[in-house]
Amino acid sequence: QAFLCVTSTLSMAVFRDRFVLEDLVEEMKKQSPALNFGPLEADGRISVQGSFPALRGLREFLLLKAKCLSEEDKREGKSHQRLRRKAQEHRGALEMRNSTWDAHRDKHVLVLDTDIYHYMRCFHPEAFQANGVVISGVTEGDITTVCIESAGRGSGAAPALRAKRTIEDRSVELQQLLWKERICFQEQGRGGKRRYRQLCERLEPRYPGVLLVPHDTHVDVVGTPADVLGFIEDVRK
């Protein structure tokens, strides 16, 4: 099994104005005892290592903290807006309606291993295709953050929650199933890299369940252990 844990660097600086960061880190440790936390850096960054489900739990905990701060800021902003409401009454009513809609939009966030995210996109695209929701992904190195939110006013919360559970369940299955190996380019220069890539492309049809992820210095091979090892063996031959 290749995707059992990940190391992620979190920036806690956004909480600095409202929390003592050391106390917040201690709360995070109690919330997620299965994770290993590195030292808190002076700039507010901290490294965290553990399983994807545990990291997802920590992510949702921090998102809830951030949401509470955002709601407090909105309340403070509304108190100031009252002083100018007579001069902006029509526009204020319009903004109020928009704010009410935004508040009722259902939104979920998942953190996935980037290779698993691309594998799902390639071989299980139906997981990202659901009626009534908009699903987007932002990749930052080994981590991809997937955002699932309701697409329209009448769609409600249920479709987004179902889509979240579908993606989450499939990612857990793939974490237990998939394997990844790396083919490093032994020959330097553009010619050597091109030969390796062409070889991998020729072999790819023999292994329809394998995902090739090309990089400047290597190619990652993602799939079931049997397919990945068979592909690697054919490349060596």
pLDDT of residue 124: 92
Q: For residues 62 and 48, what is the distance between their CA atoms, to the nearest angstrom?
A: 13
Residue type, 187: E
Encode pLDDT of 175-186 as tens digits.
888 888 888 877
Encode pLDDT of 14-67 as tens digits.
787 778 888 889 988 988 888 888 888 888 888 888 887 788 788 888 887 777
Hey, where are the domains in the chain? 6-66, 107-177, 179-236
The mean per-residue pLDDT over the stretch 61-81 comes to 60
Quote the mean pLDDT of the chain: 77
130 and 150 Cβ atoms separated by less than 8 Å: no
164 and 108 Cβ atoms separated by less than 8 Å: yes
Transcribe 60-107 into DSSP letters. Answer: HHHHHHHHHHHHHHHHHHHHHHGGGGGGGHHHHHHHHHHHHHHHH--E
- Regarding the domain delimited by 107-177, which CATH topology (the fold level of the hierarchy) does it fall under? Ribosomal Protein S8; Chain: A, domain 1 (3.30.1370)
pLDDT of residue 72: 54
pLDDT above 60 for 103: no
Nearest to 159 by CA among 129, 127, 132, 126: 132
Q: Could you tell me the pLDDT band of residue 119, with boundaries at 50, 70 and 90?
A: very high
| Cβ contacts of 93 within 8 Å, gap of 6 or more | none
Distances in Å between the Cα of 180 and the Cα atoms of 30, 138, 218 are 32, 21, 13
pLDDT above 50 for 209: yes
- Among the residue ranges 5-9, 41-45, 82-86, 152-156, the one predicted with the least confidence is 82-86
Q: For residues 197 and 95, what is the distance between their CA atoms, to the nearest angstrom?
A: 53
Instruction: Name the H helices within 127-183.
Output: 158-177
pLDDT above 70 for 152: no
- Regarding the domain delimited by 6-66, which CATH topology (the fold level of the hierarchy) does it fall under? Alpha-Beta Plaits (3.30.70)
Q: In sequence order, what are the beta bridge partners of 112? A: 144
pLDDT of residue 81: 43
Percent of the chain's residues with pLDDT above 70: 77
Confirm whether 6-66 and 107-177 share one CATH topology. no
Mean pLDDT: which of 59-73, 76-90, 121-135 is highest? Answer: 121-135
- pTM value? 0.57
